[in-house]
Amino acid sequence: MKVVQLLGLLLFVMSLGVGDDLDGMMPASDSTGRTGDADVVLAKVGDREITVRDFLERAEYTIRAPYCKGSSNVEKNIVLNTLIAEKLLAIEADQHSALTKSPGFRDFLAGRKEQKMRELLYQSEGERKVRLDTSEIQRVYSVAGRTYRIECHPANTARRDSVPEWEVGWSTHIDRPVHRALFSGPLKKNQVLGPFRLGDTTDVLIKIKGWKDRVAVTQTAVTTQYNDVVGELTRVKADSIYERYARKVMGKKTLNFDTETFNRLTKVLVPLYTNRPKKAEDEFLQSTYGRKVETPTLAGNEYAAIQGLPILSIDGKKWTVQDLMREVDRHPLVFRRANRTDKFASQLRLAIVDLIRDKYLTAEAYKKRYDHHKAAVHYEQSWRDASIAMFERDNILKGASADSANPGRVIEGLLNSYVTGLLRKHSDEIAVNVDAYDKIALSRIDMFTTQADVPYPIYVPAFPDLTTYNRLDYGRKMN
């Protein structure tokens, strides 16, 4: 493999916004300057709530519509009106919407909620048990402002041809083991780190050629760098603590695959998973533009012939292929590596192992009653409302034979009238926390945010194109 290709693997940058660093645990980017304010209720719409966190994430963790992409008060009002309109659409359609009767939709919501429950479990059994040493924080802080010049060499050859230098800083999205090696403390010029495993079989060595130090001077820069260091150290230690907890949960449970059935299922699934467009592109198109993308579906004689066959046993309990795929409906498979055809069987096996582990961890979350936790309930409700609102909006547009090729005209000519009618109709049921709202400042930066290594990687529902109405002339001020 060429050196440039090795670095391409090493410096894997998420092409569409934030990715690996989120992992579902990151506090909302609170533009009021206080992350503690993020869970303050910004608006009440009937029995629904919109928090400051909801407002910021829906506006800044996905792509806003062009007519409210800026940071002015007019555009901020459009965002608030849009999120309130989304709730109103969902409230009006909730009991009769055809979407709510779909088993697939119910699986989607249950899977989403259980993912949030596992995040809460990670926080209680991992993050909250972390204790950081001051000297460790200081050691990492001393190099957190450093930008290294590095060379990347194959580890399995004695050749050391001339290779290009690359710059890697604290914020560069690289494999975590590499990041920890570079930023765990001071290094020496010409020091060699590694080897590091990239992909399935490639080992590389990293040579330190030099560095530049950027010293944090202002109080804001110092605080940001310190919080970054504490956050990274906390994640590393929390991951280790939670891994021990997960091993304890799994105990001495044994998982055995039926080789023949597994091989037959692999043949059925290979074309469904390996022939798809890039997953990140799928997620971006579906979330941002509502574009239909192919998703794996099982049909045909090959699947029918094996769905009743046992494929695995876990802790003495047998699962048929159909049992497994029902679990996949709720917990989509997460592949640790790219779905190459020649490696698919081994990656499928690992994805199934991860699914089963998550099932047992979810059971622990249910024991702790995290299904009643406010964060999990609110998260599920947010996705439910967003999905129902978009489903009903599309029905309204179809019923009016709206021109989908000109969305701006559709919003101005049809949806604005519909939304303002809803705002007037439900005005007595809407309350806005004006004090919290006035503190919010929006950015102008487009970002599409995903989480890594989870069944549902899209972080928040897409921003809904519902209205350009920019006046707050309804409802009441929240006490």
Whether residue 438 is contained in a domain is answered as: yes
Whether residue 55 is contained in a domain is answered as: yes
Contacts of 393 (CB under 8 A, 6+ apart): 89, 415, 464, 466
For residues 124 and 159, membership in a common domain is answered with: no
For residues 67 and 156, membership in a common domain is answered with: no
For residues 40 and 165, membership in a common domain is answered with: no
For residues 344 and 290, membership in a common domain is answered with: yes
pTM of the model: 0.85
Rounded to 5°, the CA angle 140-144-149 comes to: 115
For residues 151 and 124, membership in a common domain is answered with: no
Whether residue 228 is contained in a domain is answered as: no
Total of domains in the chain: 2
Q: How many CB atoms lie within 10 A of CB 45?
A: 22
Q: What is the DSSP string of 386-408?
A: HHHHHHHHHHHHHHTT--TT-HH
For residues 368 and 408, membership in a common domain is answered with: yes
For residues 159 and 111, membership in a common domain is answered with: no
Query: Of residues 24 and 416, which shows the higher confidence score?
Result: 416
For residues 256 and 395, membership in a common domain is answered with: yes
For residues 426 and 460, membership in a common domain is answered with: yes
Each residue of 243-297: pLDDT tens digit? Answer: 999 999 999 999 999 999 999 999 999 988 886 655 554 554 454 444 444 445 5
For residues 266 and 125, membership in a common domain is answered with: yes
For residues 317 and 459, membership in a common domain is answered with: yes
List the beta bridge partners of residue 477.
432
Last residue of a domain, one of 214, 238, 263: 214
Whether residue 135 is contained in a domain is answered as: no
Last residue of a domain, one of 214, 234, 269: 214
How much is the pLDDT for 324? 98
Token digits of residue 53 = 């966190």
Whether residue 390 is contained in a domain is answered as: yes
Domain of 365 in residue numbering reads as 1-129+251-478
For residues 299 and 197, membership in a common domain is answered with: no
Each residue of 363-419: pLDDT tens digit? Answer: 999 999 999 999 999 999 999 999 999 999 999 888 877 665 566 677 887 899 999
Average pLDDT, the chain: 87
